[in-house]
């Protein structure tokens, strides 16, 4: 799976919870928190993304990510393993 595929899957999950962002660019340096996602929303976005990618990664692996770019990097790294 390539980086773009992972990013697009994450973006779709974000838009599922925040459809209002459909027409806006989401930068890799932005954080889900800054986009208005609370802790429960953020966990859901990750879960939906992993479901779509067929990944099984413990949620705690994502706690160190400080922005969306880092989330994509972690997801991509795990997708390469499977």
Minimum distance, C-beta of residue 76 to another protein, in the bound complex (Å): 19
Burial of 14 (0-12, 13-18, 19+ CB in 10 A): buried
Min separation Cβ 2 and another protein, Å: 26
Binding site for another protein (CB under 8 A): 36, 38-40, 42-44, 47-48, 51, 58-60, 62-63
Q: Which is nearer to another protein, 1 or 43 (CB)?
A: 43
**Which alpha helices (DSSP H) does 1-82 contain, by range?**
3-17, 39-53, 68-81
């Amino acid at each position: 799976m390539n980086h773009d595929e992972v990013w697009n899957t994450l973006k779709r999950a974000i838009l599922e919870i925040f459809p209002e962002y459909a027409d806006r660019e989401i930068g890799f340096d932005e954080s889900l928190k800054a986009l208005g996602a609370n802790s429960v929303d953020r966990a859901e976005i990750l879960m939906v993304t992993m479901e779509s990618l067929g990944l099984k990664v413990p949620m705690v692996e994502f706690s160190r990510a400080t922005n969306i770019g880092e989330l994509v990097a972690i997801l991509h790294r795990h997708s390469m393993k499977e």
